[in-house]
Amino acid sequence: MPVAPRHLAWLALLAQQMGEPMLVVWSLATYAGIGLAVGVAFVLAAAPRALGHAAAITPGGRAMLVPGAAVLWPLVLWRWVRQT
């Protein structure tokens, strides 16, 4: 295994202990969990304001927005924080 830079030593240790395939699964699960939390929070709190006009969003419309907001959570969070 190649030597990691000093600031990434924790990642090399984690990969060594877990195994690289489990590290990938763990990383994807973490990304999905954070994305789901940010997506639901965005859809419940900021989606009507993000549309630019006072539009009512139906529960079905909110349910359709959650997957996209969850997958694109870094962009959604960045724009949401920048807007407020």
Give pTM, 2 decimals. 0.72
Percent of the chain clearing pLDDT 90 (strictly above): 35
Under 8 Å between Cβ of 62 and 43: yes
Structure tokens at 80: 């949401």
pLDDT computed for residue 2 by the predictor: 58
Rounded-to-integer distance, Cα 74 and Cα 21, Å: 24
CA quadruple 15, 18, 20, 23: dihedral positive or negative? negative
pLDDT tens for 68-84 read 999 999 999 998 888 76
pLDDT of 48 above 80? no
Question: Can you tell me whether residue 37 is helix, strand or coil?
Answer: helix
Select from 55, 44, 58 the least CA-distant residue to 36. Answer: 44
Please compute the mean of the pLDDT values over residues 14-41 and round it to a whole number.
87
Domain boundaries, the chain: 19-83
pLDDT of 54 above 70? no
